[in-house]
Amino acid sequence: MWTIDPEAVTFAKMHKLPPNAIMVNFTGADAVPVALQFTNNTILGRRSNSAPQLRPCNPDAFDFLAAANFEAMTALLTKAFGDSGSGGTKGLVPAAAAGDTAARKFLMANMSYQLPYVEYRTGNLSVVSGATTTIAHGLGVYTRLIGIDMICASPNNSFTALERITASHSPDGSNAHGIQISADATNIYLTVGANGVVLLTKTGGINLTVVNSNFNIQAWAQL
C-alpha cells in the first residue's frame, strides 16, 4: 500500500476551503476534518457535553479591540482583598494614586500603598541644656529605630545654615556634654547634657560645644 510521505502535503496541495472557514473535528474522536464557515457576527463555542456550535453575537458588545470593552470586562473581575489577620483573597489590585512612585510607596499586603516604613519625626526643637523633652510618637509599639538630627539654624564653626548632622548620643558624656534619645511604646525622650551638646568639627575632628541657639533638634522613630 502506497502512503504519502510525512509533510509531503502542503497547504497549497490541500483541498481549497470556502471563504472565512476553518477545519474542525466535532466528533470527539479521531476523524476526517470538515470545513466550518463563519458568517458575519458569529462566534464558535462549545458547551459542556455538546458539540461546538456557531452562535450569533452582538458586534458592539464583543469588539475585543475597543478599550471601553476591555475596561468593562476588567470591571467584572474580582478585586483582591487584603490581609487583616486571617489572610486575603486573590484578584485585581488597586491602582496606584498619582505621586505614589515619587513618594516611593509600595503595595502592602492590606492592599494599600504605603511607605516601606512608618516614621514619626518631631518638628524643630530648641536645644536646652540639662533638660529632658518628652514627645508622644503615636506609633503604639516599641520602635525599631530611633535617632537624632541636629539642624544648623545659623552658621556655627564649620557648620553652615540648614546643614543636618546626625548627632552622636554622648560624645563627651564624662563632662555632661552630649545628647541622648530613648523611646518606649508611647514616647520619645530627648535629653541634652547639662553642659550642652558636643559635635565634632569637619575641620580637624575636634570637639565643638555648640551654641544652643544656633541649632535645632529633630528626633525620629521608625517601625
- 29 and 98 housed in the same domain: no
C-alpha to C-alpha distances, 181 to 45, 73, 97, 131, 168, nearest whole angstrom: 70, 55, 36, 12, 10
- In the chain, at which residue ranges do the beta strands (DSSP E only) sit? 21-24, 34-37, 42-45, 53-56, 106-107, 113-114, 119-121, 125-126, 132-136, 145-152, 164-166, 179-183, 187-192, 198-200, 207-209, 215-222
C-alpha to C-alpha distances, 1 to 4, 6, 14, nearest whole angstrom: 10, 15, 21
Q: What per-residue confidence (pLDDT) applies to 129?
A: 92
Residue 65 inside a domain? The answer is: no
- 151 and 204 housed in the same domain: yes
Say how many domains are in the chain: 3
Residue 69 inside a domain? The answer is: no
**How many other C-beta atoms lie within 10 A of the C-beta of residue 159?**
22
- 123 and 208 housed in the same domain: yes
Exposure letters 86-118 (e unless 16+ CB within 10 A, then b): eeeeeeeeeeeeeeeeeeebeeeeebebeeeee
User: Among candidates 91, 92, 117, 120, which has minimal Cα distance to 106?
Assistant: 117
Which amino acid, residue 167? A
Cell of residue 98, nine digits: 498619582
- 141 and 98 housed in the same domain: no
Q: What per-residue confidence (pLDDT) applies to 99?
A: 92
Q: What is the DSSP string of 161-213?
A: TT-EEE--S-TBGGGTB-EEEEE-SSEEEEEE-TT--EEE-TTT--EEE--GG
Looking only at the bridges linking them, the beta strands covering 198-200 and 207-209 are antiparallel
- 216 and 172 housed in the same domain: yes
- 21 and 97 housed in the same domain: no
Residue 4 inside a domain? The answer is: no
User: Among candidates 114, 150, 142, 109, which has minimal Cα distance to 222?
Assistant: 142
- Each residue's pLDDT, cut to its tens digit, for the chain (223 residues) gives 677 887 778 878 888 888 888 888 877 788 888 888 877 777 777 666 666 666 666 665 555 555 556 666 777 778 888 888 888 988 888 889 999 999 888 898 888 988 887 888 889 999 999 999 999 988 888 888 888 888 999 998 888 999 998 876 555 556 788 888 889 999 999 999 898 888 888 888 888 888 999 999 998 888 8
102: containing domain = 77-83+90-116
pTM of model > 0.75: no
- 140 and 109 housed in the same domain: no
